[in-house]
Amino acid sequence: MVDIDRLSPLQPGDWEWQKNAACRAMGSAVFFHPTDERDPARSHRIARAQAVCHSCAVIVDCLAYALRVREPYGIWGGLSENDRASLLGLKSMRYAGAARQSGIESQAAAQLAITTRRSGWASAADQGIDAEATG
Per the document, the length of the chain is 135
pLDDT digits (tens, 9 = 90+) for 14-25: 678 888 999 998
Regarding pTM above 0.75, the answer is no
Contact 85, 93 (CB under 8 A): yes
Residue 84 CA to residue 113 CA, distance in Å, equals 10
Residue 7 CA to residue 33 CA, distance in Å, equals 22
Q: What is the mean pLDDT of residues 74-92?
A: 86
